[in-house]
Structure 1
Amino acid sequence: MATQPATTTIELSPKESQLKNLLLDATKFINESGSFQEPVVLRWAGGWVRDKLLGVESHDIDTAINVMTGEAFALKLCELCEQADTVDKYGMAKSDVGNIHKIARNPEKSKHLETTTIKLFGYDVDFVNLRKETYSEDSRNPQMEFGTAEEDALRRDATVNALFYNLNTGEVEDFTTGLVDMKSRLIRTPLEPFQTFMDDPLRVLRLVRFASRLEFTIDSAVEEVMSDRRVLDALRLKISRERVGVEVEKMLKGNHPRKSLEYIDNLGLYHTIFTDPSKPDIPVPDISNWKLAYECLDSLRRSKTPGSIYDVLVRSDEAAYYAWILAAVVPWDNVKAPPHTKKGKAPPPFGTLAAQEGIKSPGKLRDLVTAANNNRAEIMSFVTAVLNKQPSAMERDKLGMAIRHWESKNGHWRLQVLYALLVEAMVVLAAASTTPTSNDEFLKKWQQFLDHLQDLDVMEAPTLKPLIDGTQLSKALGTKPGKWMAPALDVCIAWQLRHPEATDPAGAIDEVKIRRVELGIPGN
């Protein structure tokens, strides 16, 4: 006998009620055809129900069907929507009903059942049948079968994601402990945690994401299993790194990225996520002080004001996400690669490998990690020069050309400065317990450095418009272009930085002529 679910109600918006009524008309249309012995019943499932109970609006609605596939139901729905009386009843415009999109089954990407999506009244509505899953010992890809609502609820990752809104009854159905856990703001698994995670180890990261996003607490018994070596080994070896990367990206683009990294830290997940799983003998970074880095970044973010460190260094949503990735890989900075003695290009830093192989970051982000690692020593030398008021720190061309160099291949020079700050935070703030150095004193010097760059007006050095281009310079020197061109143009830019008011490139050309032999320029 099926379990009687706990229930509650939800107040729908006018648009949601309109969508609900249309879908119920579709079930009536199908039921009257006599195609199925059992009446079609629809349920809105998972995230929409959870968010609705939390008072959060969502435009993505998963619709679970008891006796039909999602595609079969969607085709019948579209057939109904083409009828004139349906169009009149709902005052439908062409834009109210989109095209059917079928997302094929792809077990390797954890897409175990095909889903059909339609845009309806501005909502993205997914249709899929209720199902149950059976896993074998040697595969993470389950056998999928039609199931009951209770079986579908039990296969989900968390009780708060296992709630249904029954369109026929207008009630929320809870076959687990979802409603109780919602009130307690608690993340628990519908089944025994070890079984839940061994069935799909990616659920470890999904629960971290939901706990941090919702600001819920993970049940202590669940946390214990999330740290189980058998579960972590399964996550490392049996889950594609692309899937791991998607979860990490969602965490760090969410509203509480610091909380996500704190969970990863406290649950012992770091070495499973930010690593190269194909190299079991890869060194392990010391993460004992990692917390100081990600908490420092969060403190900078929360205290953002015009001209503050975060305001100056993080200037877009993309940069904010990249900043958290850099905070995630800073422990690798102190793991030095062995000397490169072979011919060819040196291997990337370990931090780059963690981003590349651990979470499958795109090339642009991997290049940023590499640049941040490679340029950190030079950045720190300029910070020291500014603090000590060394003559080199007062030279606009030196700082401006350095910034152009940091930006040249990988972009985001500001984030490279932030990376240097976070790496130093792990060292300086760790020593604060035994020395008088405070967090404010530590950040004060970085603010002083950025203020100095602002005073010198070199922040936009990478986008400085040259007074002369290569063709013009070659003509002025009376010689053909060659390998000398790039360094000669750098001489021109450095001259411009020393003479910010100049509008005539004559002085820059004269300097190139003086350094003609040094630059390898042919001719007189």
Structure 2
Amino acid sequence: MADNTSGPISLTLTPLEQQLRDLLVSAAEYIDQQDLGAKASPPADGVPSDGNDGNGASASPPRRDPLVLRWAGGWVRDKLLGLESHDIDTAINVMTGEAFVKRLRDYVDIPENRERHGLAPDDVGRLHTVARNPDKSKHLETSTLKLCGLDIDFVNLRRETYTEESRNPIVEFGTAEEDAERRDATLNALFYNLHTGLVEDFVGGVEDLRRKILRTPMDPLQTFLDDPLRVLRLIRFASRFEFSIDPAAEALMADDRVLDKLRVKISRERVYQELEKMLKHPNAIAALRFIDRLGLYHAVFTDPDRVDMPRPNVAAWKSAYECLHHLEETKTPGSIYSLLVTTEEARYFAWLMVTLAPFEQLPDDPPTRKGKPAPPLAAQAARGGLKASNRFVDFVTAAHNNRRSIVELRDVVRDQREGVDARDRFGMAIREWDSKGSLWRLQVLYAVLVDVAERVPDPAGNAELVLAEWQKFLDHLVELDVMNAPSLKRLVDGNMLSKALGVKPGVWTRAALDAALAWQFRNPGVEDPEGAIEEVRKRRDELGVPSK
């Protein structure tokens, strides 16, 4: 970051950003001329009138001051850090986002204005407004308009006042200073005034960027109590930018009062959104280190709706996530990570699943009243605590249910037990693990990480011997050529078997088909189905195939 804080800070805009700035400033002047006439010169400080509706609804205050537009938050931060950013939030001093966008559309509907700003027919999209939802901690509506291919958010400057009687703030029109003070971190509280072309810093965000430190604009305890999600947001930004967190703030991030509110006040969907952004970033390991070191595990990875949700001991959790980091950092062709993590989705699932590994040490819940197995605790935390996708929850359930089977086959290879070269045994097991598309490779990785946490609970210990066992297991699967077992196409189907055996399909069919498929694994490359059918004929009684 350039050392330019001794005086006013300007930013170099891209051609597209300059086009957007010129368009918005011209639109503001046009609106002011209509509403204020001669009083249409925007004040540099942008202090608005005192009118407000008291609850953050869409009504704008009476117009006595000219419009002042600012780009806020992340875009300014990224510009100062020299990073590319397309996340442009526009803050408005005396008008709601929806009201401004409607007037902006009036401006661009005038043909000469479109021509003046070089707007193509598709450069201005439709208005989309996200309504307030205080129950989800969404305290102000946001209006979005696609301009020149970018989604631009528009919202008015505001101040928020919290009371003891309500978890939701009173939201009012505010000044730029008040808007900056309510934000999660000083580096996200910077503004770029579109009219002056200068950065506005009311809370010391520029200096904090230079020092690479995350600090809250207001008292950190009050900041976190007002919106506990800010705890996770600070962790996300600290890991993303490799910044430190102000010790005064860090000391309060695990305060019981804050964590209690994080569990009950913030929707789990929003918790999951923050976690997803952390774990999809290349520096996911830093986020988990923060969560672990600050003692936030049980506030994040739990089901708050279940009062008696068990709490795993997380002393060995570090071994699991540090192992995943090690595997990712040292991957080579044919390594554990390269064989098991093959897509970006798989990478994200790998980091998300390691957060749930501590639950494997706990016993399963008793069966349900109907006698069915209860969902694994890790799956309960994923579904109820994180509101993760059904695909991920199904994967976690399969990873838990199949872990012992995976470990048993690993032991067969490690100890060179009988049947170690039985290709059908390994191929059929992999297909069973992968039934319903449950990502068998990641299930194996889950077993690896849990095994490391159990056998080498001290992350400073030597996990190489454990990993060597798993590498040997995977090398054996490659040698047997069963890594793609789930995609092996059957030579025979149920109708073919039924016709060949002269009996109707029935309960016998599945076992017979599995026997035919196992024959395929033992006879790779054979394309004639007759051998598979003959295998079923020979085992007719064993498989329960009825007589003709």
TM-score (norm 2): 0.91
Question: For 2:155, which of 119, 125, 128 is the aligned residue?
Answer: 128
Matched residue SS, 2:171: strand
Mapped to 2, the partners of 1:202 and 1:7 lie a distance apart of: 33
8 Å CA contact retained: 1:285, 1:335: yes
Counterpart of 2:514? 490
Alignment of 1:78-477 (within 5 A): 78-340=105-367, 342-430=369-457, 438-477=462-501
Cα offset, 1:90, TM superposition: 2.2
When residues 521 and 394 of structure 1 are mapped into structure 2, their CA distance, relative to the original with a 3 A threshold, is same
Contact 1:64 1:130 in 2 (8 A): yes
Look up the match of 2:30. Answer: 29
Q: Secondary structure at the match of 1:392?
A: coil
Displacement, 1:271?
0.7
Residue 255 of structure 1, CA deviation: 2.3
Secondary structure of 1:94's aligned partner? coil
Amino acid at match of 2:15: P
CA–CA distance in structure 2, aligned partners of residues 432 and 58 of structure 1 = 37
- In structure 1, stretches of 5+ residues that fail to align are none
Separation (CA, whole Å) in 2 of partners of 1:142 and 1:384: 57
CA distance in 2, matches of 1:498, 1:226: 58
RMSD: 1.6
Q: Tell me whether 238-247 or 334-343 shows the greater mean CA deviation.
A: 334-343
Query: Structure 1 stretch 133-142 or stretch 410-419: which is displaced more?
Result: 133-142
Instruction: Give the aligned residue type for 1:50.
Output: R
Shift of 1:13: 1.2
Could you tell me which amino acid in structure 1 is paired with residue 511 of structure 2?
P
Confirm or deny that 1:513 pairs with 2:540: no
- In the TM superposition, residue 354 of structure 1 has moved relative to its aligned partner by 1.2
CA drift of 1:387 comes to 1.6
SS at structure 1 position matched to 2:122: helix
Cα distance in structure 2, aligned partners of 1:112 and 1:340 = 42
Render the CA deviation track for 1:298-328: whole Å, top value 9, x for unaligned: 1111122222211110111111111011110
Report % sequence identity. 55
The C-alpha deviation readout for 1:460-485, integer Å capped at 9, x for no partner, is 10010111111111111111111221
Matched residue type, 1:63 = T
Task: Describe the SS at the equivalent of 2:200.
Answer: strand
Indicate conservation of the 8 Å contact 2:10/2:199, yes or no. Answer: yes
Q: CA deviation at 1:37?
A: 2.2
Mapped contact 1:367–1:410 kept (Cα < 8 A)? no
Counterpart for residue 50 of structure 1:
77
- Is the contact made by 1:117 and 1:124 (CA closer than 8 Å) also made in structure 2? yes
In structure 2, the CA distance between the partners of 1:6 and 1:261, relative to structure 1 (3 Å rule), is: farther
Separation in structure 2 between the aligned mates of residue 117 and residue 229 of structure 1, nearest angstrom: 37
CA displacement at 1:341 relative to structure 2: 8.0
Give the deviation of 1:279 after TM superposition.
Answer: 2.7
Separation of aligned partners in 2, 1:352 and 1:509: 40
Deviation at 1:355, TM superposition (A): 0.9
Task: Report the number of matched residues.
Answer: 517
Distance 1:513 1:410, change over 3 A: same
User: In the alignment, is the contact (CA less than 8 A) between 2:229 and 2:266 conserved in 1?
Assistant: yes
Structure 1 pair 256–431 and aligned structure 2 pair: CA distance change class (3 A): closer
Cα distance, 1:241 vs structure 2: 1.4
Following superposition, the deviation at residue 256 of structure 1 comes to 1.4
Deviation for aligned residue 1:15: 1.2
Give the 3-state SS of the residue equivalent to 2:160 in structure 1: strand
Which stretch of the first structure deviates more once superposed, 222-231 or 99-108?
99-108
CA contact (8 A) 2:319 2:458 kept: no
How far did residue 76 of structure 1 move?
A: 1.4
Whether contact under 8 Å (2:188, 2:205) holds in the other structure is yes
Specify the code of the residue in structure 2 equivalent to 1:497: F
Is the alpha carbon distance of 1:394 and 1:432 closer, same or farther for their aligned partners in structure 2, counting shifts above 3 Å?
Answer: farther
Which residue identity lines up with residue 279 of structure 1 in the other structure? Answer: R
Segments of 5+ residues of structure 2 without an aligned counterpart are 1-5, 37-62
Residue identity in the other structure for 1:348: P
Letter in 1 for 2:531: G
Tell me if structure 1 keeps the 8 A contact 2:365–2:376: no
Is the Cα–Cα contact under 8 Å of residues 59 and 122 in structure 1 kept in the other structure? no
Tell me which residue corresponds to 2:42. none
- Partner of 2:19 in structure 1? 18
Secondary structure of 1:135's partner? strand
Query: Which range is displaced more, 105-114 or 221-230?
Result: 105-114
Structure 1: distance between partners of 2:334 and 2:8: 52
Compared with structure 1, are the counterparts of its residues 413 and 13 closer, same or farther at alpha carbon in structure 2 (3 Å cutoff)? Answer: same
Structure 2 contact 424–522 (Cα < 8 Å) conserved: yes
In 2, the alpha carbon distance for the partners of 1:57 and 1:343 equals 55
Q: Which amino acid aligns with 1:381?
A: E
1:403 to partner: Cα distance = 0.2
Q: What whole-Å deviation, never above 9, does each CA across 1:215-237 have from its counterpart, x for those lacking one?
A: 11111110111010111111112
What is the CA–CA distance in structure 2 between the aligned matches of 1:339 and 1:104, rounded to whole Å?
43
The aligned counterpart of 2:39 is none
Q: For the residues of structure 1 that align with 2:400 and 2:33, how far apart are their CA atoms?
A: 66
SS class of match (1:32): helix
Q: Which residue of 1 aligns with 2:49?
A: none
Alpha-carbon distance, 1:358 to partner = 1.2
Contact 1:198–1:231 (CA under 8 A) maintained in structure 2: yes
Paired residue for 1:481?
A: 505
1:263-302 deviation digits (Å, cap 9, x = unpaired): 1101110011111222333322111111111011011111
Q: Give, as a single letter, the amino acid of the residue that structure 1 aligns with 2:502.
A: G
The answer on whether the counterparts of 2:322 and 2:459 sit within 8 Å (CA) in structure 1 is no
Matched to 1:21, the amino acid is D
Q: Is this contact kept in 1: 2:365–2:377, CA < 8 A?
A: no
Alpha-carbon separation, structure 2, partners of 1:432 and 1:40: 57
Give 1:131's aligned amino acid: R
- CA contact 1:399–1:458 (8 Å) conserved in 2: yes
Q: Check the 8 A contact 2:185/2:216 in 1, yes or no.
A: yes
Deviation at 1:488, TM superposition (A): 1.2
Contact 2:315–2:457 under 8 Å retained in 1:
no
Residues in 2 aligned to 1:320 and 1:104: alpha-carbon distance in whole angstroms: 34
Cα displacement (A) at 1:84? 1.8
Q: Offset of 1:7 from its aligned partner?
A: 4.7
Query: Contact between 1:309 and 1:450, CA under 8 Å: does it hold in 2?
Result: yes
In 2, Cα distance between equivalents of 1:94 and 1:462: 49
Q: How far 1:116 moved relative to its partner?
A: 1.0
Change in Cα spacing, 1:394 to 1:138, as seen in structure 2 (3 Å) is farther
CA contact (8 A) 1:197 1:203 kept: yes
